[in-house]
Structure 1
Amino acid sequence: MKLLAIHHAAIICSDYARSKHFYTQVLGLQVLAENYRAQRQSYKLDLALPDGSQVELFSFANPPARPSYPEACGLRHLAFQVADVAASKAELEAQGIAVEPVRVDEFTGKRFVFFADPDGLPLELYEV
């Protein structure tokens, strides 16, 4: 087997409208498809990044809370590449999003910063 790339990351949200706004309007991801699955009483929103990778946003009735932040077993955080961490941080803050201070990766020397989606999912911006 030879893996080629990450195709998508799937996220379950507690408030579909709030998360849809965050991922499309705040982060600027493009909507590829939006489907309501009546049998599951769940939305599935397919979102695209410029490189073709995707984020799937799901809504389910009463999903369990994340056990801890951010060291729960499983996905630790989702990182997005940006050209300028400081400028991206300023854009988020201008929209009222709390963003941690910029840090520098001790191994690569690249700058990065953490913030959270509406459900507290840790998100990272990593400068390339």
Structure 2
Amino acid sequence: MQITRLLHTAILVSDLAKAEHFYGEVLGLVKAEGRTSNFPGTWYQIGDCQLHLIVHPEFRNQIFNQTKWGRNPHFAIAVDNLSAALARLQSKGYPMQMSASGRAAYFIQDPDHNILEISQG
């Protein structure tokens, strides 16, 4: 077996409106065309990959390592301008944490505390 590419990542969210605001309005992701589910959620297109938000109203995420967010479950995205992305996120009041590795990468949490790594790509 040879795995050739990642198709999508699915994460749980408790409030679809808050999640869609974060991923669609704050991060600027575009909804994936033609993707629907028979349960509450949303699909976003990120390059050749997709992000699937699945609603679970009782979902409560747990951050295991509060001091180093990158040592918790997370997914990583690349931006074309890291400085501009950081300025935008800071202006919206989202807490961020620089990568402990020393790389030019930052971690941010969505409204449900799912962690995203953002780096220059």
Runs (5+) with no aligned partner, structure 2: 67-71
For residues 31 and 116 of structure 1, the distance between their equivalents in structure 2, rounded to whole angstroms, comes to 20
Q: Does 1:126 align with 2:83?
A: no
Runs (5+) with no aligned partner, structure 1: none
For residues 85 and 34 of structure 1, the distance between their equivalents in structure 2, rounded to whole angstroms, comes to 29
Identity %: 25
Q: Does 1:68 align with 2:63?
A: yes
Report the number of matched residues: 115
Deviations 1:70-128 (A, max 9, x none): 48xxx71111012332221111112222222x34745xxx4100110000111110223
CA RMSD of aligned residues (A): 2.3
TM-score by length of 1: 0.76
**1:39-118 equivalent positions in 2, closer than 5 A:** 42-49=39-46, 51-63=47-59, 65-70=60-65, 76-100=73-97, 102-103=98-99, 105-106=101-102, 110-118=103-111
Judge conservation of contact 2:63–2:113 (CA < 8 Å) in 1: no
Q: Which has the higher contact order (CA 8 A, sep 6+)?
A: 2
For residues 20 and 120 of structure 2, the distance between their equivalents in structure 1, rounded to whole angstroms, comes to 25
Judge which range, 83-92 or 27-36, deviates more: 27-36
Which of the two has higher C-alpha Rg? 1
For residues 48 and 11 of structure 2, the distance between their equivalents in structure 1, rounded to whole angstroms, comes to 17
